[in-house]
């Protein structure tokens, strides 16, 4: 019997000829990531377990992104702890404020993970990098400390859900809508501890930023990983960003899948997830007229240059509605800089948006856009749990950047095609 993409990568890193779903394996980890809010606890655990040196500093990635620039003394101390650990351990892949970005966007951009690799990070959306043909998954601080010390971790090999994407996109429909639709069908636990492996002609036409968004939200269906086999688009992106395709593998034709699902995107409309679950999806038209206080465009899901372009194309020559705050956060410094060069930032600011430094910030209710009591927001983020972006009474609706921009203009949830 052949192997899925997840099985092939776990077999290679476990030093085995083959593995199958349900087996327990100990694997050599290729890359290990932590951020300013997860590294301090990992460092503490690393010390408590008696470790003194990271086994392979070249495999380690440390990124300032969640509470940056530091929002208070505590977050400044978190960043300092990570900064000092990087210096102590000789970790050169350390990304400081001003040269950083949201970790899940920065990692592919900097060519830090390549097809066929096993990548773990102390953040649940580490699965984003599965779009590169890697097995990428989030782990806790204890596991990450063990990975630092040993460069290996144990895994239960996940079963794999195969998802076929067919058809072609309608205007203002994106991969964000595809993954919201998938989560709506599966529910937030429908792919629990599975790898979701994406295929199909619609996928083949998706550029890399769209694929990264697709895999980013696999965890919202409970998945261990979201994965896309390496193809020409992957190889071109990876090599252009300094990565390698030497370890790339593809699933076997006779691989065994736990289940298969097909989504035809040809009739798909922009989707909106209402509080308090990403699975609570309906077409945008069902929310017509629903008033919002804030619109947020950014995050590791939709803070790419293409997302900012889509929003600016709608906002250019228009104004943000009275009584609405529009916050836009480019995902990395290089995206921010290119958005400045293209005039995107000017269009956004002239429309009335506040454009922030790259940060996770508002997405997790950290800073630069926290919601107050009873406020309503439409966001391009990946989660809308109660209290996710601020007060427990606040309500967050999830949508793509074009819907977000149109909503900022009218002050109510709006399909872009309805703008005059």
Supply the CATH number for residue 373's domain.
Answer: 3.30.499.10
Confidence band for 16, pLDDT divided at 50, 70 and 90:
very high
- Asked whether residue 373 is domain-assigned, the answer is yes
Q: How many Å apart are CA 32 and CA 121, to the nearest integer? A: 6
Cα gap 169→203, rounded to integer Å: 11
Is the pLDDT assigned to residue 163 strictly greater than 90?
yes
Whether residues 223 and 321 share a domain: the answer is no
pLDDT at position 363 is 95
- 246 and 298 part of one domain: no
Quick check: 278 and 382 in contact, CB under 8 A? yes
pLDDT tens string 226-284 = 999 999 999 999 999 999 999 999 999 999 999 999 999 999 999 999 999 999 999 99
pLDDT band, residue 374 (cuts 50/70/90): very high
238 and 369: one domain?
no
Same domain? 350 vs 404: yes
Structure tokens at 179: 């993954």
Residue 208 resides in a domain: yes
Within 10 A of 330 (CB to CB), how many other CB atoms are there?
Answer: 30
Q: Say whether both 29 and 171 belong to one domain.
A: yes
| Each residue's pLDDT tens digit, 279-291 | 999 999 999 999 9
Domain end position, chosen among 210, 244, 263: 263
292-314: per-residue pLDDT in tens? 999 999 999 999 999 999 999 99
> What percent of the chain clears pLDDT 90, i.e. is strictly above it?
99
Confidence bin at 420 (pLDDT 50/70/90): confident
pLDDT level of residue 20 (50, 70, 90 thresholds): very high
- Of the pLDDT bands very low, low, confident and very high (cuts 50, 70, 90), residue 10 is very high
The total number of structural domains in the chain stands at 2
In order, the DSSP letters of 377-409 are EEESSS---TTTTB-TT-EEEE--HHHHHHHHH
- Domain final residue, candidates 229, 263, 297: 263
- Select from 238, 263, 288 the last residue of a domain: 263
Mean per-residue pLDDT over the chain, rounded: 97
Do both 193 and 216 map to the same domain? yes
Residues 357 and 239 in one domain: no
Using pLDDT thresholds of 50, 70 and 90, give the confidence band for residue 1: confident
Q: Are residues 386 and 276 part of one domain? A: yes
Q: What one-character-per-residue DSSP string does 79-148 give?
A: HHHHHHHHHHHT---EE-TTS-B-HHHHHHHTT-S-TT-EEEESSGGGGGGGGGT-EEEE--HHHHHHHH
| Same-domain status, 253 and 288 | no
- 290 plus 259 within the same structural domain: no
The answer to whether residues 207 and 302 belong to one domain is: no
> SS3 for 209?
helix
Q: Which domain holds residue 332?
A: 272-415
Are 190 and 323 found together in one domain?
no
179 assigned to some structural domain: yes
Indicate whether 420 belongs to any domain: no
Residue 71 lies in a domain: yes
């Amino acid at each position: 019997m052949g192997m899925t993409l997840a099985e092939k990568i776990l077999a290679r890193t476990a030093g085995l000829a083959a593995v199958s779903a349900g087996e327990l394996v100990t694997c050599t980890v290729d890359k290990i990531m932590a951020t300013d809010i997860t590294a301090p606890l990992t460092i503490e655990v690393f010390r408590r377990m008696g470790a003194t040196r990271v086994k392979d500093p070249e495999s380690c990635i440390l990124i300032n992104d969640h509470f940056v620039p530091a929002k208070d003394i505590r977050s400044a101390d978190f960043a300092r702890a990570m900064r000092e650990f990087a210096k102590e351990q000789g970790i050169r892949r350390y990304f400081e404020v001003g040269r950083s970005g949201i970790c899940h966007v920065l990692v592919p951009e900097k060519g830090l993970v390549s097809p066929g690799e096993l990548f773990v990070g102390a953040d649940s959306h580490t699965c984003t990098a599965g779009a590169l043909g890697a097995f990428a998954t989030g782990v806790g601080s204890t596991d990450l400390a063990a990975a630092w010390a040993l460069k290996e971790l144990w895994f239960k090999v996940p079963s794999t859900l195969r998802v076929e994407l067919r058809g072609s996109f309608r205007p203002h429909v994106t991969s964000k809508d595809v993954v919201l639709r998938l989560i709506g069908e599966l529910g937030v636990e429908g792919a629990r501890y599975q790898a979701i492996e994406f295929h199909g002609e619609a996928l083949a036409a998706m550029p890399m930023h769209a694929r990264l968004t697709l895999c980013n939200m696999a965890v919202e269906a409970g998945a261990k990983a979201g994965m896309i086999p390496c193809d020409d688009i992957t190889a071109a992106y990876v090599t252009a960003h300094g990565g390698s395709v030497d370890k790339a593998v593809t699933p076997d034709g006779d691989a065994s899948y736990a289940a298969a699902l097909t989504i035809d995107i040809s009739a798909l409309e922009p989707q909106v997830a209402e509080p308090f679950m990403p699975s609570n999806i309906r077409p945008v038209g069902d929310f017509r007229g629903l008033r919002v206080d804030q619109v947020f465009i950014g995050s590791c899901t939709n803070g790419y240059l293409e997302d900012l372009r889509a929003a600016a194309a709608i906002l250019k020559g228009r104004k943000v509605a009275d009584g609405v705050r529009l916050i836009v956060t480019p995902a990395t410094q290089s995206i921010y800089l290119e958005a400045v060069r293209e005039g995107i930032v000017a269009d956004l600011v002239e429309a009335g948006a506040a454009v922030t430094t790259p940060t996770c910030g508002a997405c997790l209710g950290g800073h630069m856009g926290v919601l107050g009591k009873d406020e309503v927001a439409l966001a391009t983020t990946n989660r809308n749990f109660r209290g996710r972006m601020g007060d427990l009474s606040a309500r967050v609706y999830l949508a793509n950047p074009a819907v977000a921009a149109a909503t900022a203009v009218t002050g109510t949830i709006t399909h872009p095609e309805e703008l005059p």
